[in-house]
Amino acid sequence: MLTTKKLGGLFLCLVLLALFRHSASDGKVHNYLQDRQIGLWGKPRNVALSVDQVMNHLNFDVEYNGTSDELVSQNMGLYKEVYGKKIDEPKTAKLTYNQLHSVEYELANATLLTLVRNKELEDIVFTIRQIEETWNHQFHYPYTFMNDEEFTEEFKQTVKRHTSGECYFAVIPSAMWAKPAHIDATKQKQGVAKLQDNKVQYAGMESYHNMCRFNSGLFYHLEELKKFKWYWRFEPATNYFCHVDYDIFKFMEDNNKTYGFTISLYDDPLTVETLWPVTLDYIRANPHSVNPNGAFKWLTDVNQNPDITKQANGYSTCHFWSNFEVANMDFYRDEPYSKWFDALDKNGGFYYERWGDAPVHSIGVGLFEDKSKVHWFRDIGYHHSPYSNCPNSERCSRCKKGDFANSELDNQNCLSNWIKYEMTFKDLQQY
Ligand SMILES: Nc1nc2c(ncn2[C@@H]2O[C@H](COP(=O)(O)OP(=O)(O)O)[C@@H](O)[C@H]2O)c(=O)[nH]1
Ligand SMILES: [Mg+2]
């Protein structure tokens, strides 16, 4: 029999449930995640997949009853909704500070890292000053500068004046930088000509191809980097807008993350026409290397930009924009990534096409790592022309809150797909 007391208890439970659902609700974001039935309790299984299972995951093709323009606009709505939320530091993570600027502070095994040319001295100082001002003045993490040539004394002395941590200068051995001997010159010429006909940026600049290959799969083998586990990549002339007080590297370490990013974009499909087919061949032979909780849908979405996915033969071209990234180099050094990179290198697409380090890192992370180990640094305000990540936070200045780029570039934004397909409700509540 239902007594008044029991009814009261039931009522209280219903009210609490409703309150929980309300407080946990983020409008559309909540609905998307509910639709996918991924929630607080959605723990993935960690069992190796068979070839068929892997291929099934990668043939993802949601029916979408609308045009891709409609989807872009819907996704930008989601993007703006997420950005509209006021954020501060991550709420549910372990954070480490050095508020007293103690010299005793124990650093993580990490370096700020940039590949840069002597002629970019002014631009690199421009960026270093912002990294110091918004973050590193509290920690004094070391910097590693990489170059395919010797750095000039002027370069070295100038950057040392603007950095609060130790500076290391690494000259890249030509075996790591130059085009490998197995590249077929005729095939390369034909490939470059095709890219040039299609107005692909940097197509005929061999140093750009070298740079992409080096950043994709070689930098972490440099002698000067062997001692480090973590890196934060930065580029000349980029901006950092927000003050971050906690240790970014320890955040990664203490919260079990492998890869951190700020911006996610589409690539020019012509630069990576065969990257996905070559990768599929590799994983057909090595299905065990694929992580069962990979970011498969983000990698293969065909709805928002169907032409791109078709032209890239099944790869959405969505990638983490790697001119900013914080990551664990041991992930690249381990077998799943490094063996796959060797297969890519052997194929030669870094020269026959223009495979970039951003899609290569992203496919590698998306296939071989658990997506829960990928972190979107919502709180790091960042700009590399023409795109930005500018959160709605009191900690940021000099950028327009919620800004991505000019609206005609909205269809270049992939972050909504990451949010919709790969983030859990709990991930979204982290800030
Ligand atoms: N040392 C060196 N650095 C390079 C070279 N080419 C590109 N970089 C660096 O590689 C990064 C990416 O190059 P960038 O010109 O910014 O390419 P984009 O961002 O794709 O337009 C930047 O940090 C550049 O300074 C090169 O030939 N030598
Ligand atoms: Mg750049």
Closest approach atom of ligand 1 to CA 215:
10
pLDDT band for position 22 (cuts 50, 70, 90): very low
Alpha-carbon gap, residue 306 to 322, rounded angstroms: 23
Q: Active site includes 273?
A: no
Rg for the chain (alpha carbons), in Å? Answer: 23
Ligand 1: residue of 112, 113, 114, 116 to mutate (most ligand atoms within 8 A of CB) is: 116
Give dist(CA 298, CA 260) in Å, integer. Answer: 16
Cis peptide before 236 (omega within 30 of 0): no
pLDDT band at residue 14 under the 50/70/90 scheme: low
| Ligand 1 pocket residue status of 148, Cβ below 6 Å | yes
First and final CA of the chain: distance in angstroms?
45
* Cβ(117) – ligand 1 distance below 6 Å: yes
Residue 115, SS3 per DSSP: strand
CB atoms within 10 A of CB 154: 10
Domains in the chain, please, with CATH? Answer: 110-428 (3.90.550.10)
36-94, pLDDT tens digit by residue? Answer: 433 333 444 467 888 888 888 887 666 677 899 999 999 999 999 998 999 999 998 99
Convert the pLDDT of each residue in 204-225 to its tens digit.
Answer: 999 999 999 999 999 999 999 9
Reported pTM: 0.90
